Amino acid sequence: FRARPEGLEGEELDAFNMRLLEQVNASGDIFLSHTKLDEGVALRVAIGNLGTVEKDVARCRELLEEGLSCLSDR
């Protein structure tokens, strides 16, 4: 997936998504990875592990929402 805040495109959008990844990963609760697709940087969340529970997915979403809010305010 890609976060797509209004007004950001191209390299600025890629940089935003990498900052989001770094902020979420800094929590130590969740680890996101990324890849480069034709459109640019895409973030990856692996939730297919047998040990992943609903609480883990909810925490991931919470951290992403916090990061989006924080980074969008800058």
pLDDT of residue 74: 66
Comparing CA positions, the residue from 45, 48, 41 lying closest to residue 59 is 45
What does the alpha-carbon distance between residue 36 and residue 30 come to, in Å, rounded to a whole number? 20
| pTM confidence score | 0.89
Spatial separation of the C-alpha atoms in residues 27 and 25, rounded to whole Å: 5
The predicted structure's pLDDT at residue 62: 96
Express each pLDDT in 1-58 by its tens digit.
Answer: 999 999 999 999 999 999 999 999 999 999 999 999 988 999 999 888 899 999 999 9
| CB 67, CB 24: distance < 8 Å | yes
